[in-house]
Structure 1
Amino acid sequence: MTAKDLLNQGVNLARRRDCTGAIAIFNTVIEYLPNYAKAYYNRGSAHYTLGNYARAIEDFSWAIHLSPDYASAYINRGNVQRQLGHLDAALDDFEHGIQLTPLSARGYCNRGLLRLDMGNYTGAVRDFDYALKLEPHLPRGYLWRGVAWLQCGDFSLAIHDLNRALTLTPDCAKTYNYRGLAHFYQAEHPQAMADFDQAISLSQNFADAYNNRATLQMEFGDYRGAMQDYCKALKLSPSLPKGYPQTLEQLHPELQDSPTSGKAALLNNRGNTRATLGDSHGALDDYTEALRLAPNHAYIHHNRGLVQLYLHHYELAVTDFSAAIRLNPQCAEAFSHRGGIRQHLGDLDKALQDVNRAIELTPSLATAYVHRGRIYVDLHNYQAAMADFDQALILQPNAAHTLNERSVLRFRLKDVEGALADVNRALELQPQFSDAYINRSLIRFDRGDRSGAFSDIDVVMTIHQHRPAPPDDRAIA
């Protein structure tokens, strides 16, 4: 199997939204072909999907450095910059991509979406015009141009474009929702209601459509129906739209009661339970409400930070861990987790300060040694990294992820047998550990065991092939 074959396997995993597994494969490809621009590009795309924006930008930048005419790398880096709110940088990247591929609709669509963000609605319309001249049957081109017309206040043109989009993709819930808004603004209430109903029929978890239908039901005087839709929208959406506050007061009058520490504790505990059961957004809701009632409780900030970290909301997680530290400067776990995020984002100096403080406060905190070990790896201080991974495993000898990380480091230091022993132990502890199989395949390949290496890659594919890919609800990327 060549490195390029391995790259294709990574691409297939990424298409099925197993981006963590894909990144592990791309890491292997880059180790063998460090100047292969496509590997950096694909790894950057996987990091982007996971919300690892700093790493995505780094990878797209490397792809551009290695291949200066790589238009897709410019476009995708622009998308990351857009997500981060770096609108000028995003615009520069989109314009580079358009210059390199002036006959591709993709660049114009992405620049059009950026111009929507910037409030340049006429500029957005022009970009979607160009895209649709190049690809006259591009459904999202009509959808987003319809949104631009909607923002311009030209509701008739918006409806015209959204009709075209529905001709091409009749099952697009988003398009029905936007067309319903256009009808609503033209006081065409029956048509608006029909569109919101259809959007919900096509996507029963579409919070915005429930919210819009509730607003329309208020116009009709159907307050019971509106209440039901608002409740449904609130259950579906972890972040509340700006138009909700008065309705929330009607739905939850008890929130006007005097807060008590007991109530905040109950919300925190329910949040912990929801997080354990995988309901991350519900947990965030509970922690946020608990903090509204009791804003100076460090442990609630810490718990919310853990969920934000799990969801890859790194900046929000840092904010919560920082609040926990401010309220309780002895909270070693908060220092450790904040240090881990800072290492992940490349701020190694501050990361090292945080984990050193965590270890000073709680010398038995294994995760702090793991985080510091990763920092030392990034600093190429491999002996110090090894000492930290060793200490972490003394404290938690059955930590599969730490064993795998030490295995990777041992392999880098040419301790092949030690690396193999660690990864084998990791797989005994966690038989479905994809990263460990990929790591072991690399070790086996190095030892000349090609059959074993390919067998491990096959196991990775088997683990991931049954994972369903979530629908791609993002804009053109």
Structure 2
Amino acid sequence: MSLSNAPLRSESAGRWALVWALCLTLGAASAPVRAQDAELSPEQQAFQEVMQKGQAELDAKEFDAAVETFSQALQASGGFNPGPFVGRAKAYLGLKEFDAALEDLREAFQYGQTVPGLIPLAQNVRGEVYMEMGAYDLAMTDLEAAVAADRSNPDIQFNLGKVYTKLGGATQGEKALTKFIGVAKEEDERLAEAYQLRAEAYAGMGKFEEATADISRSLELDDTGHQSHFTQAVVLLQQKKYAEAAESLKKAIAAYKPKEGQDENIPFIEAYLARASALEESGKETSDPAASKAFYAEEEAAVEALLGLLPDRQDMAPAKAASLFRLGVAQRLQGKLADAVKSFSEALELNPAMGEAYFRRGVCFFYMQEYQLAAGDFEQAAAINFDNPRSNLWLGRTWAKLGDYRRAVRAYGAAVAVSDRYVDAYVGRGLANMRLGEYDNAVEDFNQAIRIRPTQARHYYYRALAYEALGEVDKAARSLMTAIEFDEKLIEAYAPLADILESAGRPTLAREYRQKAARLGADK
């Protein structure tokens, strides 16, 4: 439940009652009330009753009636009493008539400067309006001013904690929400949301144990809402507990109800896509092939369910494109390459700027041995996502498959230009240079790979082949020995090393390496 629609708790109602009483002194139809006056005048009594009636209507969410009641109070007070303006603004907020609410609050600020306590309450209400509009930065300005004037008001602390958390201010959000939780009554309907928000804040601070405890408490108070389940999933995802996160997202989807004013025909898109991603990561994480396959199949089914729920409207095109992309990923991971190509192609029809879809489709074409098609997709992906080196890496691999090693060298070079620590690109370019007979360049590429990843045995093996091609057999032998030191099971390194040793007049050592290679081969 949003704060703007929540019934006022006892402390909050007390503050409003005090402000209404103070506003009695501003009524145009009555004389000022002095502290020593024991009774209200009939006009003041009538005004108080109307204000109380409006407050009761707010509590009952009878917002249209509250607008009329506060309008009557405003008319009775001469049109300049700030209390009815604030009350009517609250009612307009409940009706989602934000412009009208802001206009009434502007009037309240103008006439309420002499009413103690009214300004922070009005700032709090305006903060609520801004939050409902999604303008959290504007809300923060009002709420910070409000809390500076009234630090003990739990309503303001709740709202401020919510704003800070939504804006990424985890530490500030946690402090404000903790203050609210410390004084909130058990029956306060905002308490479950407060724990859920504080869990978000704790997660942002990396305090996952505290976040988990708060989510559990939130769900104890109210397990019917989707937001706590979704936040629980976010916390689990941050801890890379993908399978558990997928289950929490499943619960969030089942519990989802659109907010008032939202399109009821639109499903919980964010949760569906997050669940698909979590299932994918679960499949990659497990070492059980059958379990992995099951996760990918479940991912595919989840996305197909989402696609079946999305309305066939133009404004749904971005969501549909994202869903089709995720469907293609799930299909590719299951080896359904043709289906994946179809899904990626449909996604690109809806969003031609989706570079990742070109890349993933290119990978499918690559494994289908449709290398020309793959090259086209990788080039398009590289043009869109020019700051990502993967597309040019795969483009280099594709040109190598087509035997165009010069183009492969250029593509690998483009990948390195984006990321000068991209080991796979250095290795790929080194192998392409070997094919071109440019062995010096190959040695330098393999050296770059070794500098970045010095314990990878195969890099030394490739460098040894380049040295041998250059006639530098001593360097080749040393490089092969180093490769074997890092990985004694690298069987490819033994035969060329044995040949070099035998040519160098060391047949006994050569025989030992051949025997070792034979044993490794027998063990396979």
Q: Which has the higher contact order (CA 8 A, sep 6+)?
A: 1
Structure 1 length-normalised TM: 0.44
**Larger Rg over CA atoms:** 2
